[in-house]
Amino acid sequence: MVIRILLLLSVLALPGCAFFSRKPPLPKHASFERVPKPAADTDFAALVANADVIFFPRDRAASGSRSEPAALLFEALQQTAKPFALGWDIIDANQQQLLDELATKSGEMREEAIAGLQLIGSGRAREHCRAVLRGAQAPGLQHLALRCPALLLARVASSETLAPTEEKELPSGFKVPPDGLQGYAERFPTLRGLNERSLVASYRVDVARLQFAAERIVRHFRAAGRDSKLLVFSGTADLEAAEGVPYYVAQKLKLRQLVLGSNAPKVEPPKLLTHL
């Protein structure tokens, strides 16, 4: 019992987290909407007009076809005549400077810079990202790296003492959802068989990762202004209304968030670790 209490307290110690906090309400004038399985005949112009942040499942994006939903969504954003940016959760935030420098490169130099980016995720997601980076860009289009650096996540997982510079990198002021650890264990069947210590470490990393991406989005809008829009390509599992990136973004900003659905089949969560 003592060990179990210590494990739960270790989650409480995650910067910015309050494990047993109530679910914070959406800020006034904020909204969260989900559109299932957008198709080529979807009215993307209407979707874009009614959203500040649009989340698109990265593994549904495809390169090479202008009739794909991701391409149609990008086209709709260009037609708004408003500033917008693209967010990538497959790009480490340490590579933000490389992304910013793409605006000054062309031809072979641009291709070399794109090839030098270290991307994670499926081959489909990586190829789509590279195709967008190679393509004709809207004037002043910004790309935002949303992934938390791997070294920082490793330190969070091991509960190591962070250096002052690392502490500044981790976001603060967020609250985790009630029963967050239990919900995390149920959402991912691959966690079956983990001991409690490993489960808590995995959850700490997941929370830090989601909050880091949310903080990057929040800071982007505070700098760019509320008249701008952001299209985020993210993993499907990170787009849950009750505990994903949009959940954390809504805690700090009054934004209209739209999540476009995935074709991935819903997996029944395993009933385990109910004692947590």
Q: What is the pLDDT of residue 30?
A: 58
pTM of the model: 0.81
- Which pLDDT value is given to residue 175? 93
Distances (CA, A) of 18 to 13, 32, 180, 218, 242: 8, 22, 10, 20, 15
Q: Give me the pLDDT at residue 212, please.
A: 97
Cβ–Cβ < 8 Å for 40, 67 = yes
d(CA 102, CA 106): 8
pLDDT at residue 209, as a whole number? 95
- Closest C-alpha among 82, 57, 83, 79 to residue 70: 57
Task: Report the alpha-carbon distance of residue 274 to residue 83 in Å, rounded.
Answer: 47
More confident residue, 102 or 14: 102
pLDDT higher than threshold 70 for residue 139: no
The region that residue 81 occupies, defined by phi over 0 for left and psi between -120 and 50 for alpha, beta otherwise, is: left
For residue range 33-81, list pLDDT tens digits in order: 887 766 667 888 998 999 999 999 999 888 767 778 888 898 899 898 8
Q: Where are the beta strands (DSSP E) in the chain?
A: 31-35, 53-57, 84-92, 142-147, 229-234, 256-260
Residues 203 and 159 sit within 8 Å (Cβ to Cβ):
no
pLDDT tens digits for 189-246? 777 777 888 888 889 999 999 999 999 999 999 999 878 999 999 999 899 878 899 9
Residue type, 59: D
| Percent of the chain residues past pLDDT 70, beyond the cut | 80
Round the average pLDDT of the chain to a whole number and report it: 81
**Domain-wise residue ranges, the chain:** 2-260
Q: Give 190's contacts (C-beta < 8 A, 6+ positions apart).
A: none
Q: How far apart are CA 252 and CA 250, in angstroms?
A: 5
Among 23, 45, 55, 35, which Cα is nearest to 255's? 55
Give residue 168's identity as a one-letter amino acid code: K
Tens digit of pLDDT for each residue in 104-116? 888 899 899 999 9
